[in-house]
Chains A and B, each alone.
Chain A
Amino acid sequence: MNTVLAIQDLSKHFGKIRAVNNLNLTVEAGQVFGMLGPNGSGKTTTLGMLMGVTNPTAGKFLWFGEEPTPNVRRKIGAVLEHPIFYPYLSGQKNLELNAMIKECPAENIPRVLDLVELTERKDDKYKTYSLGMKQRLAIASALLNDPTVLILDEPTNGLDPMGIAEIREIIKKIAAHGKTIILASHLLDEVQKVCTHFAILKKGNMVYSGPVDDVGKGLETVEVNADVENLNEILLTFPGTSSVNLENGVYQVTMREGYHGKALNSFLFESGIVASHLVTKKKSLEKQFLEILSDAR
């Protein structure tokens, strides 16, 4: 595999605030890499350093195995936080300007405008666009140079549900072309749907990184309900039970290693209880995210 990005001991301090602290990370070609973390955990600061607008306090990073240069940035499409354009220029003119900066032909413009469905409004001034249209223009601009790497920081901010689904489709489509995508987002559902790998930042420290497929492995949770009064005690007598919680009127049984929903079901049956509700739950990324964050100190 080709390493697209290698971050080594990267730090950024703003006075006393350690926005990013000794970050080590590699992103391989073709990965869709999700960067997660609560507000202020250093996602944007990290991406800002990768794109040359924030000077690192310490450490370094390599794009495609090389020290970063402006020319490397031209091959990367990036939207950090908010869409940024000249408000008095039309969408079209803004893209023409960006094409000049990225040194790519202006012929690419109609294609990307089409992709984000802005062709109709391209001659209107940017400042007259709605937030969602601004986001779309930013994505169009990031795709202008047919980049091999795409960096998106909250790309679905302010979009309507349809827009979110569309952007997700665009991201998937781009990923299907073998492009590498780095995505910072608060929408964990989104990340689970589109990402192959993810990392979690907390107060500038990386507290987890791994493939998305690993989420849900590990301890199982089974949701149970039955018309029995002392169900709680009965569930606790099952040797595979690690803990029992009552949530929204159903019992959440966390299983010990090696035990599964099927075994619990036959145990209940043997105890003469017929479950009215029994679901084995795969852990969501959201749940895992919250767990990791509360574990990390």
Chain B
Amino acid sequence: MLQLLKIDLKKLTSYRTFWIICGLYFITLLMTTASGMEFLKWLARTVEGFGQSININRIPLYHFPDVWQNLAWSSGLLKIMIAIMVVISITNEYAYRTIRQNIIDGLSRKEFLLSKVYTNLLLSLLSMVLVFLVALVTGLIYSSHLNIDYMFDGVEFYPAYFLEVFAFLSFALMLGILVQRSGLSIILLLNSYLIELIIKENIDDYVPWLIKFFPLESIMNLVPMPFARYAFQQIQDSVSLQAVAIALVWTFLFNYFSYWRLKKADL
């Protein structure tokens, strides 16, 4: 396993685009955190009655335990950036035909895929750890008093966030393997939410229970949007096991489909 991961990292670590995208990703991650208050002001401006009924400066956006879910959710928006990196990494293998040479040189198709999947796991893990650290530090800075009893309520969103990123990267990898061209894959990746949205909207009236089984929907449901709580609405503040189960099944299907496609193809 380690050997396969090393092989893929060897390809990536000398690739400038990889560092640029990863750099942008992590910088944006930090910026999102820093710009949270601006976001609140925006909410106050756009959501009716939001700014009047409460003082936005007293919203515990960065306080324990709210900070966990808040940051996990907003970081989830950025996973598209590493997903694009994953698409580039796999479609490059087709463009350069190095996937063919890798097999000729002795990798099996399964090993080739695994080397990409392991990289996805590593990227997901790094994202999770980074967001966790950012949340921890932010929470320590902003919280007026620390109470160990509830300070870590909501940390469970971090494994869920890990799954969210990994599931989405698996989806991106599958798209890359199916489409093989970087431009088209990235456009499809960006539009996949829209496509899913259109389908969901059209079936909403007939089979509403089906919505939560949609792939991207299930990934989004892992860490639900928390901000409605500041408008005194009920939110889901724990990880739903059903959402985890659905997302796990999709993750498996994405990777299995990649494997099946790769196995069948002439390279």
Whether A84 lies near B98 (C-beta < 8 A) is: yes
Whether A53 lies near B105 (C-beta < 8 A) is: no
Most chain A beta-carbon contacts within 10 A, residue among B3, B14, B102, B264: B14
B205 at interface by CB-CB < 8 Å: no
Question: When A and B form their complex, what is the total count of cross-chain residue pairs whose Cβ atoms lie within 8 Å?
Answer: 71
List residues of B (240-267) whose CB comes within 8 Å of A's CBs.
264-267
Chain A residues near B16 (CB, 8 Å)? 88
A89 at interface by CB-CB < 8 Å: yes
The 6 tightest CB contacts between A and B, nearest first, are A74-B106, A84-B101, A70-B108, A53-B267, A51-B104, A73-B106
- What is the distance, in angstroms, from B111's C-beta to the closest C-beta of chain A? 7
A273 at interface by CB-CB < 8 Å: no
Contact of A102 with B105 at beta-carbon distance under 8 Å, contacts A70-B111, A86-B11, A97-B7 already known: yes
Chain A: number of interface residues, binned into ranges: 20 to 34
B96 at interface by CB-CB < 8 Å: yes
A52 at interface by CB-CB < 8 Å: yes
Contact of A101 with B267 at beta-carbon distance under 8 Å, contacts A85-B98, A93-B14 already known: no
- What is the distance, in angstroms, from A154's C-beta to the closest C-beta of chain B? 15
List residues of A (23-64) whose CB comes within 8 Å of B's CBs.
48, 51-55
- What is the distance, in angstroms, from B56's C-beta to the closest C-beta of chain A? 47
Whether A70 lies near B107 (C-beta < 8 A) is: yes
Contact of A53 with B266 at beta-carbon distance under 8 Å, contacts A86-B98, A87-B96, A93-B10 already known: yes
A103 at interface by CB-CB < 8 Å: yes
Chain B residues near A93 (CB, 8 Å)? 10, 14
B193 at interface by CB-CB < 8 Å: no
A98 at interface by CB-CB < 8 Å: yes
Whether A53 lies near B100 (C-beta < 8 A) is: yes
- What is the distance, in angstroms, from A263's C-beta to the closest C-beta of chain B? 54
- What is the distance, in angstroms, from B71's C-beta to the closest C-beta of chain A? 34
Can you spell out 13 A-B residue pairs with CB atoms less than 8 angstroms apart?
A52-B104, A52-B108, A53-B100, A53-B104, A70-B106, A70-B108, A73-B104, A78-B104, A84-B97, A84-B100, A84-B101, A89-B11, A89-B14
Chain B: number of interface residues, binned into ranges: 20 to 34
A80 at interface by CB-CB < 8 Å: yes
Task: Using CB atoms, name the residue of chain A closest to B101.
Answer: A84
Give Cα A82 to B98, complex, Å. 11
B103 at interface by CB-CB < 8 Å: yes
Given contacts A48-B266, A101-B102, 17 further A-B contacts (CB under 8 A): A53-B100, A53-B266, A55-B265, A70-B108, A71-B106, A74-B105, A78-B104, A84-B98, A85-B96, A86-B11, A88-B15, A89-B14, A97-B10, A100-B3, A101-B105, A101-B106, A102-B105
Chain B residues near A101 (CB, 8 Å)? 7, 102, 105-107
Give Cα A86 to B98, complex, Å. 7
B6 at interface by CB-CB < 8 Å: yes
Chain B residues near A103 (CB, 8 Å)? 3, 106
Residues of A within 8 A of B (CB): 48, 51-55, 69-71, 73-74, 78, 80, 82, 84-89, 93, 96-98, 100-103, 141
When the two chains form the complex, which single residue of A54, A69, A84, A100 contacts B266, counting CB atoms closer than 8 Å?
Answer: A54
Chain B residues near A55 (CB, 8 Å)? 264-266
Give Cα A41 to B108, complex, Å. 27
Whether A85 lies near B101 (C-beta < 8 A) is: yes
- What is the distance, in angstroms, from B263's C-beta to the closest C-beta of chain A? 9
Contact of A86 with B6 at beta-carbon distance under 8 Å, contacts A73-B105, A102-B105, A103-B106 already known: no
Task: Using CB atoms, name the residue of chain B closest to A104.
Answer: B106
List residues of B (1-55) whose CB comes within 8 Å of A's CBs.
3, 6-7, 10-11, 14-16
Give Cα A262 to B105, complex, Å. 55
Chain B residues near A88 (CB, 8 Å)? 14-16
Task: Using CB atoms, name the residue of chain A closest to B7.
Answer: A100
Chain A residues near B3 (CB, 8 Å)? 100, 103
Give Cα A85 to B99, complex, Å. 10
